[in-house]
Structure 1
């Protein structure tokens, strides 16, 4: 018999809406990579790298992709044991809604692919006008 899907739905719904404000120990972070065993390497807005663990309610229900965003709660310095410095308490799923909040860091700018003026197109062949030239 399969597992009940209540946990999955509850975890997904709780991460859809951003909180109205953050505590002083909370911060938004960009997920850099999965370290394994529910640990993630994240980058804070001030470019500091931290290792955080995924909250138990999200384990095996919500997956975080590299480059995504998460709301983390950093432990006080006195309570840091080992290399884990905090916990992921919410996962940003609807990024558009989260970006509207006043606490969204300016350092996390949206990356768009439609910039034709960037240097990534330098040296590439322009698209040909006709495909049937043989």
Structure 2
């Protein structure tokens, strides 16, 4: 019984809200938003954008260099673990290689991933 009362109250509230909104639109109080809004990224809107691009590029380079260093260290750990009959250490080295490779892929694909997200968002 209580569920029916709640459902009836929700339905009447929705009907009242729709009627009020229709009245506001008919009276011209609610302005319609034009459908032709077109906003694009502006590379000249703020000072320092070219320097920011250089900084981001440098950070990407540092990330790639660190991924290579991590890959080398993980390979050394894997080799040391395999040659010393230490399966735990060898497993850590293998995991390190996968993590370093994934970090390199993400650093290299960061721009493509962001552009993919931007393009996907523009289609919505």
Which of 1 and 2 has greater Rg? Answer: 2
| Higher RCO (CA-CA < 8 Å; seq separation 6+) | 1
Given the two structures, how large is their TM-score scaled by the length of structure 1? 0.22
Q: Which has the higher strand share?
A: 1
